[in-house]
Chain A
């Protein structure tokens, strides 16, 4: 009967799917001995789960790839980029083992975590976000100099032409054309906007009072672009346009970018060392600080941290089920802020400064599992304490 055959086929499909699944999980050991060995090795393997900001995602997932190799497949870290807001939300919902955000946890969320887990939430800087001014002025390459006030004037539409005397004053010798300025900003909520507007808030009282800072603000002027690519597209297709992008994005797409005068009066060309330098300041113990317009004399002024979020009492996080998972998570954190930093430049990120790594060690050494100080233990094992 044909009908029966079809049912058999369905069963076969199901069976083959199941078999395929097991085959992919199971090794191909020929003897009993190697099979047992493999099983023993496999049972020690650990899956970790994190989620959050999309800006550091390429770096963190590349770290995960690398760390998996370093540990001989023992530790697999699954990082999903769901945005900073999602990362903070799922972190406080305790559905992920660590979160990731381009904005540090607010006092409200810190207090909420503290009441839920009887321990603090740690914000561990993992990398740096740097924002550059990108523009499209025919005949001009990178290197137009801006200072905070000038950017505020442009974004408030008080400067409407590229040959405005205020621009010329900062750029002697450069012959900028009489071209109307088109302002471009992000239309979506974004950590890049957060860093950029925080800089404008720091340099201009008027900006602070009228607009303020955040992942999205009420822009006084300009056209919106969705994502880094939206802003880049609008800037590259509009002569006279000016926008802001993350540094690595501008480099990848060969965009012209400006140099910025920092709070010490130095003209800073965007670079990974200059970004790292910006964070080389007196950091508070919990590293919850915005250091745009940095006091560091050689620091690039439009930069901020991207943080990894972890609980002080890892056992109180519902997503973490065993001491092994907690210890491996701490192991990955330590690796990410030390050896993992080697991956930074090639992927377009600036390295963490010493000051931030020190603060990270201090926080990690306080991480606990059922009162036992596993953070300190892992640091000792890695001879970092």
Chain B
């Protein structure tokens, strides 16, 4: 008996092909629809609260919003930038180091262990990372702080950076390393001066993606950076005192009983979305550039 495929005419094959492409398009749309719905819904609900004061005033008491006095989230936006940058500064060297070990020293006996640890850390619920930062930093320091929030987020970022660093370095052909070794460079010098510069865009993309991922986390910040209704009085307060961050403030605005605060929560959602989307688009542009080189 002849099989089904052999019986097909060219027309049938074409039809079959179009049908499959159609299915792919449908599933692509299905992936995009929820995202577009979310973005649209957040914008519709939050746009009314996005005014000049939103970017210039501090939050203060809910009485401000209820009595129509100026209130905003300037301290939250600045706080998010500070805590996220702290997290990046803490996690970048560690994540890079782990990624380099995994990629450049594939036979190192620490590697299998490191991989398991890294995957575990990546899959661990973010709230546990917050608890870890609470126990390691908040308790000994005696106060909630932007620094402890930075550490909590760094635990989120480290495994992502390690993974992306590993794959970015793996993409560099071995011939480049061999060229370096051939002119007598030590191994660390090869990695530092030839492999890493070549993989620069890949590395930065990894940083941006981990940054965007961490920027949306609320749970690890609950009991580390804790929240603040104002800007700290001294700039050191951003690092050594409680700090407000967008995802966490969004959560507390959302569960509050005031509808003015609900609108501000949606507006905070818009700001956070724009922030994260900008990061992802930048990452995307960087990787695209890499292809042409």
Contact = CB atoms under 8 A, between A and B. Distances in A.
Interface of A: 2-3, 6-7, 10, 14, 17, 20-22, 24-25, 42-43, 45-47, 49, 51, 57-58, 61-62, 64-65, 68, 73, 76, 78-81, 93-96, 227-229, 249, 317-319, 321, 347
Nearest to A228: B257
B280 to A, nearest CB: 15
A3 B142 contact: no
A268 to B, nearest CB: 26
Contact of B226 (A80, A318, A347): A80
Interface string B247-258: 000001000010
A61 B229 contact: yes
Contacts, number: 100
A95 B230 contact: no
A93 B257 contact: no
A227 B63 contact: no
Contacts of B257: 227-229, 249
Interface in B1-18: none
A64 B285 CA distance: 46
A319 B143 contact: yes
B224 to A, nearest CB: 10
Q: Is chain A's binding surface mostly helix, strand, loop or mixed?
A: helix
Interface stretch (B74-82, B98-106, B112-120): B74-82
B231 interface: yes
Given A76-B230, A80-B226, A228-B257, A64 B143 contact: no
A25 B64 contact: no
Contacts of A64: 60-61, 229
Contacts of B61: 58, 61-62, 64-65
B233 interface: yes
B137 to A, nearest CB: 11
Contact of B63 (A43, A47, A58, A78): A58
Contacts of A76: 230, 232-233
A81 B231 CA distance: 17
Contacts of A47: 232-234, 237, 241
B201 interface: yes
A42 B142 contact: no
Nearest to A317: B142
Contacts of A14: 85
B90 interface: no
A101 B274 CA distance: 38
* Residue among B61, B81, B238, B252 with most chain A CB within 10 A: B61
A258 B61 CA distance: 30
A58 B229 CA distance: 12
Nearest to B141: A318
B131 to A, nearest CB: 12
B143 A21 contact: no
A25 B201 contact: no
Contacts of A229: 257
A311 to B, nearest CB: 13
A78 B85 contact: no
Interface centre among A7, A22, A42, A95 (most CB of B within 10 A): A95
B62 interface: yes
A24 B78 contact: yes
8 contacts: A2-B289, A6-B285, A17-B81, A58-B62, A62-B62, A78-B228, A79-B229, A227-B257
A81 B257 CA distance: 12
A24 B142 contact: no
B234 A95 contact: no
Interface string B189-229: 00000000000110010000000000000000000001111
Query: When A and B form their complex, which 5 residue pairs have the shortest distance between CB atoms, in order from nearest?
Result: A318-B142, A61-B61, A45-B233, A62-B61, A62-B63
Contacts of B232: 47, 76
Nearest to B208: A10
Given A21-B81, A22-B235, A51-B226, 17 more contacts: A6-B285, A6-B286, A14-B85, A43-B234, A46-B233, A62-B61, A64-B229, A65-B64, A68-B230, A73-B233, A78-B227, A80-B228, A93-B139, A95-B142, A317-B142, A319-B143, A347-B63
B270 interface: no
